[in-house]
Every structure is written in C-alpha cells, then in structure tokens.
Structure 1
C-alpha cells in the first residue's frame, strides 16, 4: 500500500481543471520505473506507480550505492570495494567493476547517474578529504575517474542525476541553519557553473533521479520510504510513500532508465497532467536561471 499526499497550490487549480477533461485520474508515484540501490538491505528495488518490486541482492554486501541506468544497471561502491552490472530485472550479469578509489582515499560516493557515454557520481563532504562535496566523471564501466568540480556553500550532497534536455547535472543536498537541516536541489553545467536551484524543505533528500518520461525530479526524504516529486522549477508535485521500504535508512542511490521504459504507456490523463507540470516548470525555470541564489543557500556558506 502507498500513501500519497498533496499537489502544490501553485499548480493545483490548473491540474484539477485539466483533469476534468479526461476519464483517467492523476498518477501516483513515478511514471517510469525507478531503480533504487539500498545500502541498508544490500539489494536493488524497482518502483513504478504504487508498486515496489522485491529487491535482488547486490554483488557487494552493504556497499553498492551509486547507480547508473541506461539499458542496464551499473553500480559502484561507496568506497574501496566493487560494484557490478545487472539486467533491468535486477539479476546479476556476472560483470563487476573495480573500486574508483582506494579504501583509505577518504572519498565516499553516495549516488550516480549517466549520460549514456559517461557515468557520474557525487560525494558527501564528510566523506571527502578536502571537506567539500564533489562531482566525478567516469567511463561507462566506472573506470577513468576524473574529478569535475567541487560544490560550493559546503552543501552536503546526497544525490545526482543527468538532464539530457539541458546536458547538465542536478545535485541534491542538505545544509544546516539554526539547527534545522534543509534540502537544496541545484542544476549544474558539466563545468560546475550553477544554472538554477530551489529549496526542498526541511530534512532534505538522499538520492536524486529524473524521470525521462515527464522531466520531473524525484528524491527521497527522511526514511527511504518517502519520495518527493518536483518539477524543475521547484514546484512540489506530490509526495508518496511505500511501506515495503519502511525502516531503510542510510545511503541509497536512485535512477531512471536513460534509454526509456519499455512498460505500457500511461493513460492520456496522466500524460496531460505531467505535461502541464512541465510547461509550468519550464517557464518559471527560465526566469530562475538568471536570479540570485535563495537566501538559505547563502546562510549555508556561513
């Protein structure tokens, strides 16, 4: 069973008006299949709509978190151990990938993504020797490690995903201000230039993924079972939770299939609602790209 919460006031009236034109209700949960690599259970899960498919075990016990999905699933360890390749049904193919860093390198990778040519991963600032979260690039087999850029304001990153429409990387992270932990989601060019950002409420989120079927962003908040969906302008579209993932904490990577989802297409009403959210997000986001960073981000720099 899942429990889903609310649509934002900014889009609620428009969505309800459009929904009346279609017989199909708005979807709850991701349009496409969302793949999750759990540190807690050392398993891979598939989430679509209101359903969670039971996880398959990973090669490495409690260490595979960065995840890249493009026709198959490729994971990397947090630090110092191996990752591996899986079919989309989450079965092991037998291919494993060497660690990107030595166990004593002081680097902890917490989520991954891919643009189809390269993989990407992001570190926590607590797990990097210079005290900043950083973004790294790799070959598709997680080889040829290259540091791309550091993340400013000392944001503690927890998620990364690739945006093919913008050829950019979205990063989710947290920062503390007056004893409260806040979430922040930022869009960076591949050279580290900040393009846009929005706040993601208290507690922030771990793992970040773009649903390539509708261009929305998904992150988890608090315990792993809670998932928030945002348009790219920062509008919170819905919150869903999954009892099957209850109790999972710690690190976890999430990602959609860049190559596309082969499942049955959603009903027309679902497409229309998702499309309206994208149109609203696109217009606001163009204005945000030239605006100043929000005040909470500046506070995180203090």
Structure 2
C-alpha cells in the first residue's frame, strides 16, 4: 500500500484528504458545542423571565378587574431590542385584553388629519393594555432625521405632545415611556447579523441601512426629545439594551412597579438594575456631560 494513502472500509484516501476531513470534523464539533452552549444560556434566560411573566398576568388581570387602562410606548434606535421585549412581555398574556400596535406610514387621508388622530383610535378601552411599537415619537426621531416631516410639523409636535400626554394621564391612563438605548457597536453587530441570517433579513429596511451613517443625527434628536418631553406626568425611562436579556427583564420590572396590583410575589426581586435602567433626567445629565467633555453627544 502506498504510504501516502490509507484504505478505510474499502475506500482509499490520501493523507491530505484525511487531514482536511479531521479539521472539518473538529470545526463542526466546535460549532455544535458553541450552539449548544448558546441554547443552554437562552433557555436559562427564558426560565429566569417566567416568574415575571407570571406577575404580568396578575397585572393584566388587575387592570381588567379594575377597568384601568395602560399605554406602553417602546422607542429607541433600530435594532435596539424593542420587538423582542414586546414578545416576551406579552407571551403569556390574555390576548383579549392587550394589543400590540405598530402603525405603518399614514395614508393620504391621515396626512390631512390631526397628527395624533390615528394613534387616538388605537388607545385602550377600560381593562386593556396597548403596547405601541412605533409610536407618535416617530415625528420626534425618524421623521426629522430623514426629512419625512417639515420643520413646522416637527415644532408643532414638540409643542403639543406634552399636553396630549398630560390629558391622557389626567383622564386615568397609565402611561409608560420606554426608550431602548443600544450602543453604536452593538447596533452594527445586529445589523450585520440581519444581513447574513435568512430568518432575520426581513427586519433590515432602507432606514436601517442608514442608521449607522446618521448616528449623530439620531443622537441629537434623541437629546432634544428627552429635553422637551421628559415630564413629571409622562417621564421617560431609558433601558440600556446591549444585553437583550437584561433589557427584557428590567423592562418587565418597570411595568410591574407601575401599578399596585394584587397578590404580588414576595419572593421576587422587583428592584431594577441601575446599570440597565436610567431615568430620562439622568440620561440628559449624562449626555450633557458627554458634550462638555468631548464636544458632542455620544449615546
């Protein structure tokens, strides 16, 4: 037998072929172990959320019994983790008593109406929770950056949104405003994953593709939005969302702390992680410090 070839089960292979096959097997094994480790971590994280998801059911039942209404606004940059958080929050809820609202572009008729009109049509009835994925704050963030609204429309919104929200709260609606803050590096990583993962490619839009280039523009309008719309009546809560699991967990804690519902689990930790959860006022302070130190906003 040729010393350069080896026979296995009646087939002859060169030493080079066997070396390549062995390396391929090693790589396959490495990938399997990596994916298995990820799956174990994901399962552990999902299990950690379940006690809080059970509390969210209690919260929902309390809202239904008492006839209270809740609006939750999910804002933040593209790929900040809003959608995944909404899915975890609502996973075990009664579908009859919550709605997820993600409005698309306004129709020609809607463009002629009062800006808030199409959102008012989606507000909760008694006993209902409405989660807005894409909120009226599109006019404060995406629209001015991409020129989808005029300067006058932007100014009118910023002048009117405070009164609009104050009126909703005054008339008994619980309003929670969550801003998911992802770093530029993590956003780039998530976009790259969307490009290569066929299960996530549908998430990648033309606006997404420009998000990194317009990072500073979005940061500037974020600062202005917080400065003008973080109020005592309708404050913003900032969620650091580079770690998706911690963002989801702490978002649940924020919701559960917003209403005094019955039969709260005394064994659960409801205290938000202050490395993840930051008040709108504190975020403004941090952004101002960034501008003083480096000449511009960063986050």
TM-score scaled to structure 1, two decimals?
0.31
Q: Which has the higher contact order (CA 8 A, sep 6+)?
A: 2
Judging by fraction of residues, say which structure has more helix. 2
Judging by fraction of residues, say which structure has more strand. 1
TM-score scaled to structure 2, two decimals?
0.32
